[in-house]
Amino acid sequence: MKPGWFTVHVVNRGVAWLTRRGVSVWGSRILAVRGRRSGAWRTTPVNVLTLDGERYLVAPRGHVQWTRNMRAVGGGELRLGKRVEAFTATEVLDDAKADVLRAYLKRWKAEVGIFFAGVGPDSTDEELRAAAPRHPVFRLTAVAAATDA
């Protein structure tokens, strides 16, 4: 499902504007990932979920350009103001997504629930597993910054 005009032109731009200036809105970051064909940096606002000490990116709108790029390049950057954090990404298998999707929906259902076709934080594991193939999930691992010796 494509986001509506208001989401694209008002909400996403507003969140991106604030995030670029260092103000996180409910965990927002700017995801930067290289294009799988062009190699150029592509950016989009995302919500980073922390669950049991691990960080995840969930694609509420499904298999979109950033998810395809992430699969191809295996990582990217999370940006908040001038802070840039490089990471590698591992895609989570569908059978292992239920807890992540539940936690994500618990936090951001008001913002993204429309994309989950009736599935919510109170859904059964079976219902969440049925929705899992439509929503890519990536586990993030921070890349240590290089230091001058």
For 61-77, write each residue's pLDDT tens digit.
999 999 999 999 999 99
**Top CATH class, 5-142:** mainly beta
> For a pLDDT cut of 90, what percent of the chain falls above it?
69
pLDDT in tens, 95-106: 999 999 999 999
Burial 22-61 (b: 16+ CB within 10 A, else e): eeeeeebbbbbbbeeeeeeeebebbbbbeeeeebbbbbbb
Round to whole Å and give the CA distance between 125 and 98: 6
pLDDT in tens, 39-60: 999 999 899 999 999 999 999 9
Q: What are the boundaries of each domain within the chain? A: 5-142
> Where residue 38 falls among pLDDT bands split at 50, 70, 90?
very high
Prediction pTM value:
0.84
* 100, 56 Cβ separation under 8 angstroms: yes
The pLDDT of residue 28: 80
